[in-house]
């Protein structure tokens, strides 16, 4: 009697770079579909990444030499790593693109800041880019670098432009406890949001169905101003709502970085992730996300 031989199915390889909070939420969605390799520059995280279902690789996107061992390793890539904190160019994406294979499929997680201030307009993915700050200009540079790589290597690049990410442990609780003011309604800006778990799901959908060179807004259905968001979080946590100040008074009290976030107003249309990627949001708006999860302990 002949023994039946079963052939083990080899999963496609996937490389994930920048495996922080969103990456760790993404790993459980990937590990049954791909053989996942997770890049970290912190060797102490290897056990954590293995426990989450990834094969850890210690490398540094700031060092091209350290990336040589990744060359040709995987044809699916998720690029979550931010650019460096200085300059106008993203050296990390340049270093990465030098070792990526041909005919790959890459999802790059960018930022909504590439649009700059849109005056509260409802915008889609065809909006002209107008970054106003160095960190957003570095993101535009990263997008352009990866587009050139994709064209030259006949690869598929899907770009996710992501707004403010929130979750039970990613809320502005310290700000609320400190009583940091928000803008008065006449000066306030529209903001956009996405729950961290929904973002992980959108990345998975973009890997499967993202179109070549396509941009997608990874945003939920929320339509609210920034102070309304702070109010919603304060109410959910039983904290005082922040006081309101005019912009001229507020700019004397907050950091330049925080003020820059309070100077860009836009509303992001998200129809493309639904119609092309088949995304069904678990938390369609901030109120859903705040109501569905137990909140993490408030910082002291």
Q: What are phi and psi of 193, to 5 degrees?
A: -145, 160
Handedness of CA 29, 32, 36, 38 (dihedral sign): positive
CA angle 198, 17, 80 (to 5 degrees): 40
C-alpha–C-alpha distance, residues 149 and 142, integer Å = 11
**Over the chain, what is the mean pLDDT?**
94
> pLDDT tens digits for 27-72?
999 999 999 999 999 999 999 999 999 999 999 999 999 999 999 9
C-alpha–C-alpha distance, residues 72 and 97, integer Å = 11
Q: 3-state class of 78 per DSSP?
A: strand
Element (DSSP H or E) covering residue 217: strand 214-217
Residue the block writes with tokens 């800041």: 113
Strands 105-111, 190-191: pairing kind: unpaired
> pLDDT tens digits for 63-108?
999 999 999 999 999 999 999 999 999 999 999 999 999 999 999 9
Alpha-helix runs per DSSP H in the chain: 21-30, 46-51, 91-97, 134-153, 173-178, 196-209, 226-237, 247-250, 256-261, 271-275, 286-292
Beta-bridge partners for 166? 195
Residue 292 is predicted with a pLDDT of 87
Tokens of 197: 């778990």
Tokens of 133: 């700050």
Residue 180 is predicted with a pLDDT of 92
Q: Which residues of the chain have pLDDT under 50?
A: none
Residue 56 is predicted with a pLDDT of 97
Largest CA distance in the chain: 86
Contacts of 223 (CB under 8 A, 6+ apart): 190, 267
């Amino acid at each position: 009697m002949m023994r039946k031989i079963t052939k083990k199915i080899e999963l496609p390889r996937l490389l994930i770079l920048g495996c922080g909070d969103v990456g760790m939420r993404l790993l459980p969605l990937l590990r049954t579909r791909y053989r996942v390799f997770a890049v970290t520059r912190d060797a102490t995280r290897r056990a954590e990444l293995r426990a989450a279902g990834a094969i850890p690789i210690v490398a540094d996107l700031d060092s091209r030499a350290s990336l040589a061992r990744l060359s040709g390793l995987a044809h699916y890539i998720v690029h979550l790593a931010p650019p460096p904190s200085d300059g106008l160019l993203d050296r990390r994406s340049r270093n990465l693109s030098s070792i990526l294979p041909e005919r790959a499929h890459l999802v790059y997680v960018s930022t909504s800041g590439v649009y700059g201030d849109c005056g509260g307009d409802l915008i889609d993915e065809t909006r002209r880019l107008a970054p106003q700050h160095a960190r957003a200009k570095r993101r535009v540079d990263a997008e352009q670098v990866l587009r050139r790589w994709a064209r030259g290597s006949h690869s598929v690049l899907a770009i996710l432009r992501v707004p403010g990410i929130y979750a039970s442990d990613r809320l502005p609780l310290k700000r609320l406890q400190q009583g940091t003011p928000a803008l008065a309604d006449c000066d306030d800006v529209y903001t956009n949001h996405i729950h961290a778990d929904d973002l992980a799901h959108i990345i998975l959908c973009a890997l499967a169905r993202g179109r070549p060179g396509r941009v997608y807004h990874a945003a939920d259905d929320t339509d609210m101003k920034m102070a309304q968001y702070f109010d919603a979080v304060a109410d959910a946590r039983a904290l005082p709502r922040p006081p309101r100040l005019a912009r001229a008074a507020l700019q004397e009290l907050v950091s330049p970085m925080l003020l820059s976030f309070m100077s860009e107003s836009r509303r992001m249309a998200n129809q493309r992730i639904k119609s092309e990627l088949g995304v069904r949001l678990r938390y369609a708006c901030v109120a859903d996300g705040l109501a569905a999860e137990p909140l993490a302990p408030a910082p002291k």
